[in-house]
């Protein structure tokens, strides 16, 4: 799903992967944070489990941003 085509204004996803925590959010074109979340970076034994956890937590925010644009 493309955020740019499902909403009237372009949105962006930002991800900050830190040593202990990963923060992520969806922002509008002027930088207002519309939705955000955070997961632990260290608790994952593999890169794949980190990516899966990030996806599981970020995808609902993408759905919320698409729903709020309608």
The pLDDT assigned to 35 comes to: 96
Q: Which residue has the higher pLDDT, 9 or 14?
A: 14
Element (H, E) at 9: none
Tell me the CB-side half-sphere exposure of residue 56, using CA atoms within 13 A. Answer: 7
The pLDDT confidence band at residue 70, using thresholds 50, 70 and 90, is low
13, β-bridge pairs? 26
The pLDDT assigned to 8 comes to: 67
How crowded is residue 20: how many other Cβ atoms within 10 Å of its Cβ? 8
The pLDDT confidence band at residue 68, using thresholds 50, 70 and 90, is confident
17-62 per-position pLDDT tens digit? 999 999 999 999 999 999 999 999 999 999 999 999 999 999 999 9
How crowded is residue 43: how many other Cβ atoms within 10 Å of its Cβ? 10
């Amino acid at each position: 799903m493309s955020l740019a085509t499902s909403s009237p204004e372009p949105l962006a996803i930002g991800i900050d992967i830190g040593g202990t925590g990963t923060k992520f959010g969806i922002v509008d074109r002027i930088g207002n944070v519309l939705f955000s979340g955070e997961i632990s970076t260290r608790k994952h034994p593999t890169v794949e489990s980190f990516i899966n956890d990030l996806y599981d937590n970020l995808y609902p925010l993408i759905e919320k941003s698409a729903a709020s644009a309608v």
